[in-house]
Structure 1
Amino acid sequence: MDIESILKEFNVLRNRAMRSVQMVRGAKALESARKKYLGEDGMLAELDRKIAGLAEEARPLASQTAASVKEAIAQACARKLEQFALSERQNRLAEEKIDISLCGAEWRAGRRHPLIALSDDALEFFQSLGFSIILGPDIETEFYNFEALNMPPHHVARDSHPAFAVGADALLRTHLAPACVRFMLERQPPLAAICPGRVHLRQPGLDASTEIHRIEGVMAGDTIRLSDLKGVVDLFSRHLLGEEAGFRMRPVYCQFAEPCCEIDLTAPDPESDSDDPRVWENALLGGMIRPEVFENVGYDPLAVNGFWFRMDVHRLAEIRHGAAIAGALRENDVRLLRQF
């Protein structure tokens, strides 16, 4: 084969490949055309092998022509692929076009959960009385959770605090009094502190919650009496339920407070038809701190008196909003939360 014939074949192959590339209608068809002409077993490779049969002085020109044809076909394939990509992008943008004349999505402002708002309201009230807000760790030791509060090992009082053990001497706190103990170990009386947080109790039943949100407080000094606790409860009940609110105290046993009382709150029910339109709801537990606790924190029990109290935030919500609503608040139904 002479040089003129092979150059003519290269020219025919280039023209045919250009027409084929221009006529394809998709990326897959384009890839098939590229392999047909530029693949290892393609038409250009087959024509390249004929160069070896040319005279030695004609081979450089044939090789240059082959490289030129290969580059032209490759560039044509690349341009066609860019056209397909651009067309696909334009089609996708047309399908995803946003009609700016439509009303936008409504965004509702976030707000505090009603239980959190109630807890914050109570903390602000106690701050106004001079209480300091303190925090404590969720994981406590046996000493802070039990022994410092007059509950030595194997004491029956620990049965009322079923705890989750997380180590040899570590457990999830069952009340917030340990935080009050830590505060008293760091401070000398007079003092007043309020502690919000979670406590963890092992509860029977699948529906029982093991996590309870509480608020506990302590006040200590040389002249603190049970009447001071009654005064604090009276002010808090009026703040929570209004000026017509009342309270009553019923004696109950507590290992680290004596005397200790369950405290019921009430407010007049305008919808009640009875002669006494009051419904009493248990809300707090509190009493005078025992001398053993003061000894454990380094106070002189003959010179220092004090009281302790606690309340469940969910119980306060039941009293303020009703049991049905307070129970539903735990489910975090947005339709209900938007009403607060």
Structure 2
Amino acid sequence: MEQNIFQFIWFLLWGVLWVVYFMLDGFDFGVGMLLPFIAKNDTERRIMYNAVGPFWDGNEVWLITAGGATFAAFPTTYAVMFSSLYTPLLLILFALIVRGVAFEFRGKEESFLWKTVWDICLVVGSFVPSLLFGVAFANFFKGLPIDANGIMHGNTLTLLNPYGLIGGLLFVLMFVVHGAVWLCVKTNGDLQKRARKVAEVFWVLEVVLALVFLVASAFATDLWANYMKYKFLLIIPAIALVAYFAIPAFLIQGKNWYAWFSSCAAIVFTVAFGLAGLFPRLIPSSLNPEWSLTIYNSSSSPLTLKVMTVVALIFVPLVIAYQIWAYKLFSEKVRPAFLESEEAY
């Protein structure tokens, strides 16, 4: 019984780490993907870089923590995940590396070609993880073709099924809107107006695809089974839909921070919809339900989970406090005058 409690706790923490990562790094990805479509000159491009500059590396801490938590709490799931999804995860890793280097290297030379190359790296390094994370998680929700030994029967192309692609495109649209709203928060003038227009246009596509994703989940997965069994869980997709429609409502009123928090909630509860539907599974097997990896057959020992819980109770609040401080410290809008400082990208 005690072990079950800790397994449940770590399923919740595992899910929280992933949704917080997508919520935070999502606007970084969105700004990166929008760079060539919103910025009209080098000054505006630099403003976009600096709109996410103080945050992007701290946001990725949540990705490292989510991966580490998977390894420590559910080692079998970690092993199957990283062996089955080796190619897409490697592509994500390379994209994140290139993206990080782009932030640091772009301003080292004044050459137009030099800056253009790194701008392209930022766009690609933002788009690839957005798409592949969505494809990967949609396939988790759908189930991977793994056997009793955790060996996947298929290849990378197996992941590019219709439901997986819907998930990938949904992540891209969620992050594009999230990034556009963040630019509304952090910028002024024409750049802000263009960002708001992009947010309003892509919001329509985002909502349509979110509804398609919810409907497709009823046919391609069994996620809705938990919602039919535990009716109180229906509050998760309900909050997600309310959050989606709150985004343009707040943008129209000029309440950009509220719009951004609504976008945060939309991302959190969209991903939470899938995770709640998975429980108690972590990676379902599409070949045989009995071969699925769950919190019960893939978790670490009770002692390991206890120690991890104590560590998490101490350090996770510290990380949250630090990030709140960082966001408050850099809450001002990015103005052209800031670009003259040594701290600017």
| TM tier, smaller | under 0.3
TM-score by length of 2: 0.22
Q: Structure 1 or 2: larger helix share?
A: 2
As a proportion of its length, which structure holds more strand? 1
Q: Taking structure 1 as the reference length, what is the TM-score of the superposition? A: 0.23
Bigger RCO (CA 8 Å, 6+ sep): 2
